[in-house]
């Protein structure tokens, strides 16, 4: 049995070392900055497939109000979320600079996110990230310094996590 117990330990140590090594290489984060209502937000660049201009939206019945509808993107049909509404802000008509950010889901499903405007790609040291100031449902996971201010880092998972019953 001592053999078995040490087997588990050895493996656990190996996993810890591997994780430490992985986080070392991930120390530099690349973020796509966009704005909503004049405030900057960011998503990890590795999760973004492409950025497209808004196109004809087809409304879908029986879905939460954060789902604006579906668009057709080269034959793929994607749901588009109102990022503004997900952040708890009032809805306004989309502006000329509006874009749809196409997000790759962890489960392979792709989602469109409507934002007011898309800005630059920001490179930030992991160590420079600050924790969020208050708990807002886990949607904002941290703050990254940008110029004199900060960019709010959004969790892609939380963003697309909708309560289906809230139609």
Partner 1 sequence: MQRVLVVEDSQTMREWIAAAIEELDRPLKLDLAASGFEALRLLPRQVYDLVVTDINMPDIHGLELISFIRSDPRYAATPLVIVSTESSEEDRRRGLALGANAYLVKPFSVPDLLSVVEDLLAGVKP
Partner 2 sequence: MARRLKQTATRSRGEREFLSEAEEILERMRDDLGVCLERASSGDEFAPDVLNRLFRSAHSLKGLSGMFGLEVLAELAHKVEDLLDAWRLGRSQPTPERFALLEESVALFGRALEQLAAGAIATEFAAAVAELNGRIDAARSAPPVAPPAAQDVLDAPAALLRTLTEYEEHRLRESLARGRGIYVITVAFALASFEERLSEISSALREVGELLSTLPSPGAGGPGEIRFALLAATELDAAALAARLELEPSAVHAARAPRASANTPAAAAAVSEPTPSNAPPQANASPADASVAAPREPAPAADAATLRSVSDTVRVDIRKLDELMNLVGELAIERGALSAFARKLAGDPASVRLGAELEKIHKALDRKLQELQASVIDVRMVPLRQVFDKLARVAKRLRLDLHKDARLELAGADTELDKLIVEELVDPLMHIVRNAFDHALETPEERAAAGKPSEGVIRIEATQRGNDVVITVADDGRGIDTERVRAKAVERGLIAAAAQLSQRELLDLVFAPGLSTRGEVTETSGRGVGMDVVRSNVAALGGLAAIESRLGAGTTVTLTLPITLAIIQALIVGVGAERYAIPLNSVREVLIADPASLQRSGSRELFALRGDALPVLRLRDEFGVTSGAAAAKPFAVILGLGDARLALLVDRLDGQRDAVIKPMQGPISSVRGIAGATELGEQSAVLVLDIAALVTSAQRAEAA
Residues found near partner 2 in the complex (CB under 8 A): 1, 3-5, 7-12, 14-16, 55-56, 58-64, 67, 69-72, 75-81, 109-112, 160-162, 164
Binds 93: which of partner 2, partner 1, none (CB < 5-8 Å by kind): none
Residues 99, 105, 109, CA angle at the centre, nearest 5°?
A: 95
- Residues in the interface with partner 1 (CB under 8 A) total 11
Residue 160 phi, psi (nearest 5): -95, 5
10 binds partner 1 (CB under 8 A): yes
Alpha-carbon gap, residue 39 to 88, rounded angstroms: 13
* Binding range to partner 1, per CB under 8 A, among 10-18, 23-31, 114-122, 143-151: 10-18
Q: State the Cα–Cα distance between residues 101 and 80, nearest whole angstrom.
A: 9
Q: Provide the sign of the torsion angle of the four alpha carbons 76, 77, 79, 82, taken in this order.
A: positive
The Cα–Cα gap between 13 and 10 comes to 5
Considering only residues 18 to 37 of the shown chain, the ones binding partner 1 according to CB under 8 A are 18
Positions touching partner 1 (CB under 8 A) are 2-3, 6-7, 10-11, 13-15, 17-18
């Amino acid at each position: 049995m001592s053999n078995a117990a040490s087997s588990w330990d050895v493996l656990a140590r190996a996993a810890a070392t591997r994780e430490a090594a992985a986080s070392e290489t991930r120390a530099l984060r690349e973020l796509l900055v966009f704005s909503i209502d004049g405030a900057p937000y960011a998503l990890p660049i590795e999760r973004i497939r492409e950025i497209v201009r808004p196109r004809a939206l087809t409304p879908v019945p029986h879905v939460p109000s954060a789902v604006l509808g579906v668009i057709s993107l080269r034959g793929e049909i994607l749901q588009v979320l109102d990022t503004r509404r997900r952040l708890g802000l009032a809805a306004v008509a989309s502006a000329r600079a509006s874009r749809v950010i196409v997000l790759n889901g962890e489960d392979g499903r792709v989602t469109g996110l409507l934002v007011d405007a898309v800005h630059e790609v920001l490179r930030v040291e992991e160590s420079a990230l600050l924790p969020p100031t208050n708990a807002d449902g886990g949607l904002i996971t941290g703050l990254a310094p940008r110029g004199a201010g900060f960019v709010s880092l959004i969790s892609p998972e939380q963003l697309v996590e909708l309560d289906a019953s809230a139609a």
